[in-house]
A = this chain, B = another copy of it.
Amino acid sequence: MARRSQGLSERHHKIMEFLTKFQETNGYSPSIRQIGDSIGVKSTSLVDYYLNQLQEMALIEREDRISRSIRVLQPVYATPTITGMVGDAVHKAGNMIADMISIPLAGRIVASAPIPMPTSDLSYYDAESSVDIARSLLPAHDISDLFALEVSGDSMIDAMINDGDIVVMKKAQSANNGEMVAVWLDDKDETTLKYFYKEPNRIRLQPANPNMGPIYVDNPKSLRIMGKVVMVIRQVKSVAA
C-alpha cells in the first residue's frame, strides 16, 4: 500500500546503500540480521518490514524463504565518493547489457525484389550478421519480430533512405495509419518504403520526403505489406554520391 511519503525514507536509503555495498564487496547478500545491525535495528521483523516495502518499490527482489537471496535492482550509493562513482559506472554498464538488442541482419532490400525475411524465429545467432542497437533508441517497446536490412541502391531515396543505410523493421502483415511500411507493389513489381494511410476507397502511400507526392492504390490486393519500419541507421562513410 501507499506509504506516507512515496519517496524513500532515511531508513530505506541506508538499507539500499548497505545492500549495494555489501553485494559489491562480498559477492552475496547480507542476512536479515546483518541488515538490522547495519542500520541499528534490533528486530528482524522490522527489517523484513522494510524489505517488503523496498520490494514493492521495485528496488530489490528476493526469493521466499531463501537466505541471502536479495537482488538489488537499483544500486544506491552513499554520498558521491570515488568508489560510488565507479560502482555507478559499473551499474550503468550492467544496464546497458539489458538495454542492448541484437537484431539479425536478414539481407539486403532492393527495389526490384521482394524483401528477404528472417527464416525462423529462433534465428541463428550469427554475430557476423547482426546489428546491435540500444533499446533506448528503439521507439517500439515490443522487441519481437525485429530484423534489419541493408538498403541496396538509390531506389528508396524518396523515403529519405540511401544506399548502404540499415533499416530495422518489424514483421507485419497489416499496418495502422501513419506507420512507415515496406510494401511490395504487384503492378509496379517493386518494393518501396512509404507511410501508410488507409483512406475510404483506396490506400495512400506517402513518401517520407514531403516534397514528393503520394501514390494511390485502389486495389488492396495488389499491395503486400512486408513489415513496419522501426528505425533507419545511416553510417556516413566518407564517400559521396
Contacts and interface: CB of A to CB of B under 8 A. Distances in A.
A68 interface: yes
Nearest to A164: B139
Interface string A87-106: 00100111011011010000
Contacts of A131: 134, 136-137
Interface stretch (A49-57, A113-121, A228-236): A228-236
Interface centre among A27, A29, A85, A102 (most CB of B within 10 A): A27
Given A136-B132, A206-B241, A157 B157 contact: no
Interface centre among A67, A69, A236 (most CB of B within 10 A): A236
A226 to B, nearest CB: 15
Contacts of A237: 139
Contacts of A66: 28, 68
Given A71-B27, A162-B208, A208-B162, A231 B232 contact: no
A179 B238 contact: yes
Contacts of A85: 125
